């Protein structure tokens, strides 16, 4: 299993726009083949910093999503709202 954490730093004025984009796409992503879990977290000390936390059956499932039309269209909407480059970590779940 792959646990993916992505840090997203948003321009303050676009926070509500980002949450709307996430809400519109979250069920589509959750139902994508190979996804076991998807959450959106908000930093407790910096209100414009968000994290997506997702569980994937395999690296292949994650890569299939990253090359999908769903990812491309969702990312195209969200990326202009960021104030910093997104940071991502893929981790193997051990326990």
Look at residue 65 in the predicted model and tell me its pLDDT.
98
Q: How confident is the model over 51-78, as a mean pLDDT?
A: 97
Three-class SS of residue 14? helix
Structure tokens at 7: 């840090």
The CATH number of the domain where 25 resides is what?
Answer: 3.30.70.100
Look at residue 22 in the predicted model and tell me its pLDDT.
98
Q: How confident is the model over 59-77, as a mean pLDDT?
A: 97
Q: What's the mean per-residue pLDDT of the chain?
A: 97
Q: Look up the pTM and report it.
A: 0.94
Structure tokens at 39: 């959450």
Domain count, the chain: 1
What does the pLDDT look like over 18-45, one tens digit per residue?
A: 999 999 999 999 999 999 999 999 999 9
For 26, the domain range is: 2-92
The two beta strands, 49-56 and 35-42, are antiparallel
């Amino acid at each position: 299993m792959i646990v993916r954490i992505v840090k997203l730093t948003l321009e303050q004025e676009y926070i509500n726009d980002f949450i709307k984009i996430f809400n519109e796409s979250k069920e589509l992503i959750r139902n994508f083949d190979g996804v076991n879990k998807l959450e959106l977290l908000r930093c407790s000390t910096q209100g414009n910093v968000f994290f997506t936390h997702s569980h994937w059956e395999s690296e292949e499932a994650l890569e299939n999503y990253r090359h999908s039309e769903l990812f491309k269209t969702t990312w195209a909407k969200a990326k202009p709202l960021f104030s910093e480059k997104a940071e991502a970590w893929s981790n193997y779940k051990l326990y």
